């Protein structure tokens, strides 16, 4: 799963370390704890790019594909924090407890190589 998401790998760290970009060296310093955490907690060799991906989705929406539907989040019990999507596009005019909920766009795919390329380019400027 990790390889299918937006992330900076250890090999990307080497690219950033060799850069003269004004943000590359700073980012490497502040991400050290994050890299160590992911390695220790999940045995991964990289960190996720959640925030930069969200920012790039706002700047260039073509990097993401979306579905539209109602979203609810469980607030208690063993499934607390679980996010549920009722995809209204696949329903046949049925009336349910979801019908009167507002629709939102939910990201379902991302062009991860393009996001990584953009992030690295900006950091190395």
Q: What is the pLDDT along the chain (125 residues), one digit of tens a residue?
A: 334 578 888 888 888 888 888 888 888 888 889 889 988 998 888 888 888 899 999 999 999 998 888 999 999 999 999 999 987 766 666 777 887 888 898 888 899 999 999 988 888 88
- Residue-level pLDDT at 24: 87
Active site residue 7: no
pTM summary value: 0.74
H/E segment holding residue 65: strand 64-73
Instruction: Tell me if 95 is assigned to some domain.
Output: yes
Number of compact structural domains in the chain: 1
- Residue-level pLDDT at 79: 95
Distance in angstroms between the alpha carbons of the first and the last residue of the chain:
30
7, 38, 39, 50: which is the annotated catalytic residue?
A: 50
Instruction: Tell me if 1 is assigned to some domain.
Output: no
Domain extent, residue 119, equals 7-124
Q: State how far the Cα of 51 lies from the Cα of 57, in Å rounded to an integer.
A: 10
Q: What angle do CA 23, 44, 79 make, to 5 degrees?
A: 105
Nearest to 64 by CA among 73, 56, 76, 72: 56
Instruction: Tell me if 2 is assigned to some domain.
Output: no
Q: What angle do CA 27, 81, 93 make, to 5 degrees?
A: 115
- Report the CATH number at residue 29: 3.90.245.10
Give 110's contacts (C-beta < 8 A, 6+ positions apart).
Answer: 5, 6, 53, 57, 63, 64, 65
In 3-state terms, what secondary structure has residue 104? strand
Query: In this structure, what DSSP letter does residue 23 have?
Result: T
- Residue-level pLDDT at 91: 61
Instruction: Tell me if 59 is assigned to some domain.
Output: yes
- Residue-level pLDDT at 2: 37
């Amino acid at each position: 799963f990790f390889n299918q998401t937006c992330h900076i790998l250890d090999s990307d760290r080497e690219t950033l370390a060799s850069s003269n970009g004004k943000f590359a060296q700073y980012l490497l310093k502040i991400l050290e704890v994050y890299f160590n955490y992911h390695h220790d907690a999940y045995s991964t060799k990289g960190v996720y790019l959640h925030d930069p991906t969200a920012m790039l989705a706002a700047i260039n929406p073509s990097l993401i594909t979306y579905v539209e539907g109602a979203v609810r989040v469980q607030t208690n019990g063993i499934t607390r924090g679980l996010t549920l999507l009722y995809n209204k596009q696949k329903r046949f005019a049925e009336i349910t407890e979801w019908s009167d909920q507002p629709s939102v766009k939910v990201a379902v795919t991302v062009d991860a190589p393009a996001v990584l390329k953009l992030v690295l380019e900006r950091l190395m400027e």
